[in-house]
Structure 1
């Protein structure tokens, strides 16, 4: 494969990109625009970018909104109740069908790596088993990580700790947790210690639903960061959501950020979900309820964005488009300066890949030839126009392609422009 007239992120020149045996073999600056040929894909000045990465989604729950009941209040805790109603209906065929449909939607929108949570507070562990099987089945097509996630609390659910260990023995890639949902502070802290111990025992990554609540007194993040620091596991540990940070005062956050930088842990924010679920106890003024994405970025702490849900009990919308999530984040988190735009795609590409500890990610000679082609020539134009993903290539093979939309300008406009 040979791509010509391509733009690369943070570069103004045109490039030719050569691929041999599924890897980038040469990446060369072009002196001028090359004429299209049958032997090359003409990027036509559009942006060639590393694939999008979905770092936080729940494939076992996707496409279940309204089954058997809708979340009428739209709250996080009613969502958990509705999911408890849906869990008895789960089976392998059901999860497989919905997960594959959701993966297809993500692939159509440029995603080539996914981290999915799978509920372990289910005695059958059917979600973990099914998603691990899908991961192995699709390993040549997509990178899929499975998080063993105790939705109802690892220590507050009957035999929750035992089920978690069974999930890891079954092959889950990541140890999950939800300390703020445990019955007591003591149980939450104990669960964090057990999460780190299990990650060390099984040599797994860690991704904790941490402080997904408006309560400013929910401070399990500091506990998780300390455990990661003291066990020298920082880059392998992720704190998802951390929405309570939106309610922390600045004096406490100043102290907290010192720990977070030393711990070197990762953060995932799910802005569309958080702004919908949080602030529900407020009248006005009403909190946004999204973690401090901008401040984490400015402190050079790794932070990325995920969709969290697609049409499930917690969020009944969702379309698989990470660019939409990014657009929301830029607005909600007030990252609207030009320098914010200039590296916007980091939060759904490089930062997410770092969170997932992906190896050989990025458009560099020797790496696997995984990339997407976007409408637009840089981060800013792609974000502003919400450019479509026109092409997705994995190991040098096209896995998705679409034609740019044809726009017909009314004559009364085009004539005046001329």
Structure 2
């Protein structure tokens, strides 16, 4: 396979990419535009990029909004109540149908790796079992990590700790937690210590729903970062959401950032969901309720973006398009400078791959030929146009392809 007339990120010239036996074997610059011949893929000066990575989504809950009731207030906590109503309706067929539909939607939008949370506060653990089975079935087609996530609290839910261990024995890849939702601060801290101990015992990654609340006194992030630092495992630890950071004062954040930087943990923000769910106790002025994405990046920490939900009790919209999530983030986090645009795709590609500890990622000779083709010649034009993913290649095989959108010209409108 050979791709011609391709743009690469942060490069001005056109490139030809040769792929053999599922690997990038040669990447060469072109001196001019090449007319395509049979067997060549003409990128038509669009951007070849590493695949999108969805680092935070709840596939077990996807496509359940309104079942059995809608989240009328739109709040986080009513969403949890609606999910409690939905959980008794879960079975393998129900989960499999919705998960496969959602994965197909993500693949059509350039995603080739997913980290999904699955609720362990369900005695049947049907979500964990089904998602682990789907992960294994699709391992040659898409990379999936399953997080054992105690939605109602690992220590506050009856037998929650035992269910967590069962989930890890079944094969969950990542230990999850939700310390701010435990009944007390002491239980929240104990849950963080426990999940780190479990990750070490089972040699798993960690991804914690951490301080997903407006309360400026919710400070489990510092506890998580310290535990990661103490055990030298920050590269395997992720703090998701951390929306309370939006309510922390700057003096405290100045102290906190030193610990966060030294701990080497990763951060995931879900801006569309956070701006919708947070700030619900405010009148005006009203907080955005999104973590300090720009400030974390400027401090040299690894931050990426996820969709969190697609049509579920917490977020009744969503279309599988990470470019939409990125667009929201740039606006919400006031990252609208040209240099912000030039690095923006990192937030849904390279940074996410680093968070998931994905190896063999990127467009380089010798690496597995996983890539996507985006409408536009660079990060800025891709984001501004919000165009389609035109092509997705995995291990040298085309898994999705579509035509570029047609733009109406002035002559067409006049005539």
TM-score, normalisation: structure 2: 0.99
- Aligned ranges for residues 14-413 of structure 1 at < 5 Å? 14-409=14-409, 411=411
In structure 1, C-alpha distance between the alignment counterparts of 2:80 and 2:413, rounded to whole Å: 52
Query: What SS does structure 2 have at the residue aligned with 1:148?
Result: strand
CA displacement at 1:404 relative to structure 2: 1.1
CA displacement at 1:327 relative to structure 2: 0.2
Query: What SS does structure 1 have at the residue aligned with 2:61?
Result: coil
Contact kept? 2:371, 2:392, Cα under 8 Å: yes
In structure 2, C-alpha distance between the alignment counterparts of 1:387 and 1:363, rounded to whole Å: 21
* Structure 2 unaligned spans of 5+: none
CA displacement at 1:409 relative to structure 2: 2.9
* Structure 1 unaligned spans of 5+: none
Contact kept? 2:71, 2:78, Cα under 8 Å: yes
In structure 2, C-alpha distance between the alignment counterparts of 1:256 and 1:173, rounded to whole Å: 29
Question: Deviations along 1:278-326, whole A, 9 cap, x unmatched?
Answer: 0000000000000000000101100000000000000000000000000
In structure 1, C-alpha distance between the alignment counterparts of 2:150 and 2:366, rounded to whole Å: 39
CA displacement at 1:390 relative to structure 2: 0.2
In structure 1, C-alpha distance between the alignment counterparts of 2:228 and 2:38, rounded to whole Å: 52
In structure 2, C-alpha distance between the alignment counterparts of 1:93 and 1:276, rounded to whole Å: 31
| Aligned residues: CA RMSD | 0.9
Query: What SS does structure 2 have at the residue aligned with 1:139?
Result: coil
Query: What SS does structure 2 have at the residue aligned with 1:303?
Result: strand
Query: What SS does structure 2 have at the residue aligned with 1:343?
Result: helix
Which shows bigger deviation, 405-414 or 260-269? 405-414
Distance 1:386 1:412, change over 3 A: closer
Distance 1:412 1:14, change over 3 A: closer
Contact kept? 2:51, 2:349, Cα under 8 Å: yes
CA displacement at 1:406 relative to structure 2: 2.2
Query: What SS does structure 2 have at the residue aligned with 1:391?
Result: strand
In structure 2, C-alpha distance between the alignment counterparts of 1:408 and 1:32, rounded to whole Å: 27
CA displacement at 1:412 relative to structure 2: 7.2
In structure 2, C-alpha distance between the alignment counterparts of 1:229 and 1:203, rounded to whole Å: 16
Question: Deviations along 1:349-388, whole A, 9 cap, x unmatched?
Answer: 0000000000100001111100000000000000011121
Query: What SS does structure 1 have at the residue aligned with 2:325?
Result: helix
In structure 1, C-alpha distance between the alignment counterparts of 2:161 and 2:407, rounded to whole Å: 56
In structure 2, C-alpha distance between the alignment counterparts of 1:256 and 1:289, rounded to whole Å: 18
CA displacement at 1:413 relative to structure 2: 5.4
Question: Deviations along 1:14-41, whole A, 9 cap, x unmatched?
Answer: 1110000001011111121111111210
Question: Deviations along 1:138-158, whole A, 9 cap, x unmatched?
Answer: 000000000000000000000
In structure 2, C-alpha distance between the alignment counterparts of 1:223 and 1:386, rounded to whole Å: 39
Query: What SS does structure 2 have at the residue aligned with 1:60?
Result: helix
